[in-house]
Amino acid sequence: DAKTTQPPSMDCAEGRAANLPCNHSTISGNEYVYWYRQIHSQGPQYIIHGLKNNETNEMASLIITEDRKSSTLILPHATLRDTAVYYCIVRVARGDDKIIFGKGTRLHILP
Amino acid sequence: GAVVSQHPSWVICKSGTSVKIECRSLDFQATTMFWYRQFPKQSLMLMATSNEGSKATYEQGVEKDKFLINHASLTLSTLTVTSAHPEDSSFYICSATGYDEQFFGPGTRLTVL
């Protein structure tokens, strides 16, 4: 079973920051928080991952709470192309470890 | 960046026929590949783990005789849906491990008439 809890859907106005929450209260010390997204009829796309420090890349920022039991993915200036299902996953940082997807959050960007 | 391709991107077949889907890592070698299935408005469901040169490991409830997986080289894994039926219609996605990370293919949409 997926180890994370996400809201099923969210709306965000175009140009505003989209903040997607994720709860992972049973995360282990060696598990990272990963975020992927899936645009309709495409394969999942990696966004960002982190262990305990906040991370930022060209796509998004990841804020992890100090106790590591929850995190927030931030898309700073959402566009219509960011409409997708966003998956928060906790896993060890090993490529051959299988990924179990939960239901994710369906993000709608409103024009 | 690491690229994973799938072929075909979509396929329509008649009930009872077999369909082969290819997953290729284009610019890296992948010792492990994964196969997922996704029904409309649902999440990805892991079907099996494919390791180069050995038998695939199937998740509980996935019929290994129906979904044949072959990982014959470090850049190619194939999924064959045997005796396909309309309930096998789905979006099939593979991922390949490289640089200690997983990279996903674009998916193959299978429609069984």
SS3 label, residue A55: strand
Chain A residues within 8 A (CB-CB) of chain B? 36, 38, 41-46, 85, 87, 93-96, 98-104
Does residue B53 register a pLDDT over 80?
yes
Strands A18-23 and A70-75, bridge-based pairing: antiparallel
Residue to mutate among A34, A41, A87, A92, with most B CBs inside 10 A, is A41
Sheet holding A18-23, edge to edge: A18-23, A70-75, A61-64, A55-56
**Cα separation of B105 and B7, whole Å?**
10
pLDDT at A98: 87
Low-confidence ranges of chain A (pLDDT < 50): none
The B residues from 29 to 58 touching A (CB cutoff 8 Å) are 31-32, 34, 36, 43-46, 49
**Cα separation of B45 and B93, whole Å?**
10
Strands B108-112 and B10-13, bridge-based pairing: parallel
- What average pLDDT does range B18-30 have in this prediction? 95
pLDDT at A9: 97
Cβ contact A100–B46 (<8 Å): yes
